[in-house]
Chain A
Amino acid sequence: KNEVEQSPQNLTAQEGEFITINCSYSVGISALHWLQQHPGGGIVSLFMLSSGKKKHGRLIATINIQEKHSSLHITASHPRDSAVYICAVNPTPGGGGADGLTFGKGTHLIIQP
């Protein structure tokens, strides 16, 4: 079983829709990261969370440490938001997870005009 599970794997939506991507993890963590990867490979860090909620522009990320769950929301989605969104966690030492960042498989998001 993967330590980090994302859903959905693929998501196609119309421009303007509200998007939610979910991430669940099974180990103790010290931080959770949301990353964006465009075709061509470059990865951009969107958020780093250890509790609560963060907002940047049209993007909102939340985390519930007790439930081991995080969500990434995109409001007023736009075709330029089309990318792969990856959830990654920093397992706490001795918390049962691997060393270093542990990644989900990613969510492929396509926003159609």
Chain B
Amino acid sequence: KAGVTQTPRYLIKTRGQQVTLSCSPISGHRSVSWYQQTPGQGLQFLFEYFSETQRNKGNFPGRFSGRQFSNSRSEMNVSTLELGDSALYLCASSLVGTSGETQYFGPGTRLLVL
């Protein structure tokens, strides 16, 4: 089975722009979660989608949004980029997203905001 894929792998944007990141889960997985990793804050949960519905949301401003499609692929969008949004964005998939499940992580998208 192919693993979790994320595109693009690297991205450079300027302040004020918006960005869309994509995540394709492992085939058959219906839950996709997104995480932000920065040197200062470490890994933080952004949101989780299951069957096209947002099931959980972390403590991030409304500039961060996401969606999930019927094929379980997910996108996250960050509008009005700030310098502090520079980070590694990781997605992870699991079958149904319960707490008793292993999560499978993608390689991440490294975003640099100038």
Chain A interface residues toward B at CB < 8 A: 29-31, 33, 35, 40-45, 48, 50, 86, 88, 90, 92, 98-106
Contact = CB atoms under 8 A, between A and B. Distances in A.
- The interface residues of chain B, by DSSP majority, are classed as strand
Interface of B: 33, 35, 37, 42-48, 56-59, 88, 90, 92, 99-105, 107-108, 110
Contacts of B88: 41
Nearest to A30: B99
B66 to A, nearest CB: 13
B46 to A, nearest CB: 8
B33 A100 contact: yes
B90 A41 contact: yes
A105 B37 CA distance: 10
Nearest to B104: A45
Given A41-B110, A100-B48, A102-B45, A31 B99 contact: yes
Contact of A99 (B42, B45, B105, B107): B45
Contacts of B102: 33, 45, 48
Contact of B43 (A30, A90, A103): A103
